[in-house]
Amino acid sequence: MSLSFEKERFEFRLASDPESSPELLSELARSESELIRCAVASNISTKDEDISMLSMDESESVKASLELRRLNLKMAYPAIPSVSKKNH
């Protein structure tokens, strides 16, 4: 295996890990690797400003990963039904 493959594999694991720091994810969001940017885009821990930046990415795969993240967040944090204020 080449060193660049090993580096990308390592960065992919970091970019996919929701426990990675926002600072690290921000750095990885600027990667030349589309695969790494996709992993950051789908990570629920990625900061909003990095999500905004990635939403302008030319890659359709990155945009699809952003949609996956949106769906994952929607499933993880469903809307809380409003409580009726009617008197009983």
The CA distance from 26 to 45, in Å, is: 10
- In degrees rounded to 5, what are phi and psi of residue 33? -80, 120
Mean pLDDT by 10 residues, the chain (88 residues): 87 97 98 97 96 98 96 80 51
Show me where the domains of the chain are located: 3-76
pTM listed for this prediction: 0.83
